[in-house]
Amino acid sequence: MDLEARSLLPNVKAVLLAKLREYKSDLNNLKSEVKRIASGNLNPAARDQLLESGMADALTASADQRSRLMMTTERLNQTSDRIKDSRRTMLETEELGVSILQDLHSQRQALLHGNNTLHGVDDNIGKSKRILTAMSRRMSRNKWIVGIIIAVLIIAIALILYFKLAK
């Protein structure tokens, strides 16, 4: 932190360095208090102050710490259960998503197959229409040809009868 504070602008640098000195002095005070407490030369008043700042009875402090620890453990267990439930729900959702994607893929394949079949049928209908149109034209043409042949035969018969009767 000291290096970062020194690399900043001068107006910000002075404020941060002052705070840093204050924090360092607080840290040194706390370290010295921990050493004093760890040395074992504690009087009963200091011990009571250490055990929950002013609680008269060490057993009460211990029971209070134990109850807080139990509550914290219970909350941790509840949170773990919620995480497990969330994970299970996430896995179920993922499986459902995969299933839906597979269904969509199979439906897509069915639609593509149906589309290809429909295009094939459309092509066949187009060919059939052209064939029927050609057949209709041939039929009309054949009717005209037969009609002309009948007309020519009738005219030929009429001419033959006319010349035979006229002789």
**Cβ 37 vs Cβ 28: under 8 Å:** no
Q: What pLDDT is recorded for position 134?
A: 95
pLDDT digits (tens, 9 = 90+) for 69-101: 999 999 999 999 999 999 999 999 999 999 999
The residue with tokens 């149109």 is 133
- Dihedral, CA of residue 34, residue 40, residue 44 and residue 48, to nearest 10: 40
∠ Cα 78 82 87 (to 5°): 150
pLDDT digits (tens, 9 = 90+) for 38-73: 776 556 666 656 555 544 566 676 788 888 899 999
**pLDDT above 90: percentage of residues in the chain:** 57
- Domains of the chain, residue spans: 9-41, 43-166
pLDDT digits (tens, 9 = 90+) for 27-40: 899 888 888 777 76
The letter for the amino acid at 159 is L
**Cβ 55 vs Cβ 48: under 8 Å:** yes
